[in-house]
Homo-oligomer: A and B are copies of this chain.
Amino acid sequence: MEIAILTFDQFNEMDSFVVAHLLNRLSPQGWHAYITAPSDRVTSRNGVAVDAQRPLEFTATADAVVVGSGWLTQEIAQDTALLGRIALDPQRQLIASQCSGALILARLGLLAGQPVCTDQFTRQAIARTGAQVLDTPFHARGNLATAGGCLSSQYIATWMIARRLGLAEAEKVIRLVAPVGEVAGYVDRALQAVRPFVANAPVNSAA
């Protein structure tokens, strides 16, 4: 399972690294999430310079794609040359956006008729595309998901793992990263957020 975490200049560190870290917890099972960027290096909104692990063209072969967010998403969603390097196929891939990343999925025509989760600052821009904006952290229809609020990135990871390996495997990963003493609450919220959207997921853990 190869996952592209789309990460652009001025990116939000939480939105790219939380989901990447959670998915990479399954590296013993062959899951690998990569910081995937339009150039060799990208710099976060707080000046953290990171080497890209994969170019945007990696999306063409990735099994799943997470579109991260950042301060430049509105501009990126208008950059047709850059968008042309992103190859998404919701028939084959699991695809999710984090916060303003929904603007890119909308621009690519992937959210038509689908309610959208996003952050409080992106709500209006999403609403202008004609989409319904939800007051919940996570929503998916088929293979396309959206999440809103930096810390809802944990729900994107939960959903992707649950879709491919089942809810029990997703729960194991959340247990590993929850604050000590708060594991039950974190597991409950994560499973509750994604359960309506994993009806066809494996019932039993793959482990």
Residues of A within 8 A of B (CB): 12-14, 17-18, 20-21, 24, 27, 33, 35, 45-51, 53, 117-120, 134-138, 147-152, 154-155, 176-183, 185-186, 189, 193
Chain B residues within 8 Å of A118, by CB: 180
Q: How many copies does the complex hold?
A: 2
Find chain B residues with CB under 8 A from A134 CB.
Answer: 180
Contact call B18/A182, Cβ cutoff below 8 A: no
Contact B150 A21 (CB under 8 A): yes
CA distance A136 to B180 in the complex (A): 5
Is A181 within 8 A of B48, CB to CB? Answer: no
Q: Are A177 and B189 interface neighbours, CB within 8 A?
A: no
* Pair A35/B48 contact, Cβ less than 8 Å: yes
Complex contact B179–A135 (CB within 8 A): no
List 7 A–B pairs whose Cβ atoms lie within 8 Å, in order of A's numbering. Answer: A13-B17, A17-B17, A18-B18, A24-B45, A135-B181, A137-B181, A148-B180
Contacts A47-B53, A49-B51; A117 near B180 (Cβ below 8 A)? yes
Contact of A120 among B17, B47, B117, B180 (CB under 8 A): B180
B24 lies within 8 A of A151 (CB):
no
Taking a contact as CB atoms closer than 8 A, the residue among B18, B117, B136, B137 that contacts A14 in the complex is B18
B46 touches A149 (CB 8 A): no
Q: Given the complex, which residues of B lie within 8 Å of A45, measured CB to CB?
A: 24
Selected contact of A180 from candidates B47, B152, B185, CB within 8 Å: B152
A21 to B48, CA, bound (A): 10
Question: A31 to nearest B CB, angstroms?
Answer: 11
Residues of B within 8 A of A180 (CB): 117-120, 134-137, 148-149, 152
